């Protein structure tokens, strides 16, 4: 496996991009991305100092999870052979690629970026199903759990003519080269290990005013010739078709070979929470940070702060 992420720029991304566009236009409702945001403890561990109640007009719908389509017609995206082939380009010809996830993000005009970030990692025995996101991110940042990290290929593609909304990514790490994919996006995708590849979105430009009172209960619904945002039973704003930056994200678990996939499926040498805590405490001690064993590794404030201070590094900036 690669210790420095490789990136494949894929074109064409789809054999029939209009069919994908039509599928998205039939879908919904979409929910605010803020529903997926970290809790206060997670934000603290990731470096945030003041959680914000502001909910930007960024929305998401899951089209496929755990290898199963949730939206009728999403199968051609989930099993897109171009994405699978590009994943082999990142991880090698012998890799086993298992598609798992498709989700769609819709972004209305916003005067600020979607800050560079990495996606939520997964480890054998430790995933977001039963571990908080903040801990998984810090396990990745610590670097000592790489033998257990599940490699995940991500293909990101777009439907958006511009202006704004450029996709920024750092394929060689935050101190390495900085690449930008700009609209209009012509049936292209960027395929990488986004759990270690920082990526973000430049401000999306447009004539629509920025809604400032949305809550996490808002919905983005297809309505006639556009999209309507409804919150509290009331229409809050409206976007014409084509005026929202649309991203399709595809993910697949990747294994070095069939034996590696069997080891993962059979849960050979999975991490336990106790083992994670012990390894982190030992690593912290090696860095001069003496931390008592936490009674609650998910919520202990002293424990969370010690990890956040030790492993957090600032992301790149757009």
For residue range 131-150, list pLDDT tens digits in order.
998 999 999 999 999 999 99
pLDDT (average), residues 197-203: 96
In a domain, 277, yes or no: no
**pLDDT > 90 in the chain, percent:** 87
- Which band of pLDDT confidence, cut at 50, 70 and 90, is reported for residue 6? confident
pLDDT mean across residues, the chain: 92
Q: Against a cut of 0.85, is the pTM above it?
A: yes
Please determine, for residue 5, whether its predicted confidence score (pLDDT) is greater than 80.
Answer: no
In a domain, 33, yes or no: yes
Q: How many domains does the chain have?
A: 1
* CA gap 167, 201 in Å, rounded: 5
Contact by Cβ (8 Å): 116, 216: no
For residue range 79-110, list pLDDT tens digits in order.
999 999 999 999 999 999 999 999 999 999 99
CB atoms within 10 A of CB 27: 19
In a domain, 291, yes or no: no
In a domain, 105, yes or no: yes
Please determine, for residue 47, whether its predicted confidence score (pLDDT) is greater than 50.
Answer: no
pLDDT of residue 25: 93
Q: Which two tokens stand for residue 229?
A: 């945002």
In a domain, 87, yes or no: yes
In a domain, 54, yes or no: yes
Structural domain including 40 reads 8-271
Please determine, for residue 26, whether its predicted confidence score (pLDDT) is greater than 80.
Answer: yes
CA-nearest of 227, 248, 247, 246 to 238 is: 227
Does the bond joining 44 to the residue before it have cis omega, within 30 degrees of 0? no
For residue range 207-264, list pLDDT tens digits in order.
999 999 999 999 999 998 899 999 999 999 999 999 999 999 999 999 999 999 999 9
In a domain, 308, yes or no: no
In a domain, 299, yes or no: no
* CA gap 89, 8 in Å, rounded: 7
- Which band of pLDDT confidence, cut at 50, 70 and 90, is reported for residue 54? confident
- CATH number where 209 lies: 2.60.120.620
The count of residues in the chain is 318
Rounded to a whole number, what is the distance in angstroms from the first to the last CA of the chain? 29
């Amino acid at each position: 496996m690669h210790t420095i992420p490789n990136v494949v720029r894929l074109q064409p991304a789809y054999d029939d991009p209009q069919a994908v566009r039509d599928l998205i236009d039939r879908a919904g409702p979409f929910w605010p991305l803020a529903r997926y945001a970290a809790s206060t403890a997670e934000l603290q561990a990731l470096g945030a100092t003041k959680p914000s109640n502001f909910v930007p007009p960024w929305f998401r719908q899951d089209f496929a999870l755990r290898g199963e389509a949730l939206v009728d017609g999403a199968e051609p995206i989930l099993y897109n052979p171009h994405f699978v082939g590009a994943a082999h380009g990142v991880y090698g010809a012998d890799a086993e690629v298992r598609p798992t996830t498709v989700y769609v993000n819709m972004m209305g005009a916003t005067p600020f970026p979607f800050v560079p970030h990495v996606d939520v990692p997964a480890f054998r025995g430790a995933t977001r199903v039963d571990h908080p996101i903040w801990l998984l991110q810090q396990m990745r940042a610590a670097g000592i759990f790489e033998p257990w990290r599940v490699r995940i290929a991500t293909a990101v593609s777009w439907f958006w003519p511009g202006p704004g909304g450029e996709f920024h990514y750092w394929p060689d790490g935050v101190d390495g080269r900085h690449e930008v994919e700009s609209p209009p996006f012509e049936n292209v995708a960027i395929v990488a290990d986004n759990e270690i590849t920082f990526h973000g979105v430049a401000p999306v430009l447009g004539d629509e005013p920025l809604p400032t009172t949305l809550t996490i209960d808002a919905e983005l619904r297809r309505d006639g010739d556009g999209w309507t945002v409804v919150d509290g039973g009331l229409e809050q704003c409206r976007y014409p078709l084509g005026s929202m930056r649309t991203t399709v994200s595809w993910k697949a678990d990747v294994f070095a070979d069939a034996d590696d996939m069997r080891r993962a499926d059979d849960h050979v040498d999975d991490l336990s929470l106790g083992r994670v805590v012990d390894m982190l405490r030992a690593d912290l001690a090696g860095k001069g940070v003496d931390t008592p064993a936490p009674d609650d590794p998910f919520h202990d404030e002293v424990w969370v702060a010690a990890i956040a201070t030790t492993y957090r590094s600032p992301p790149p900036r757009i």
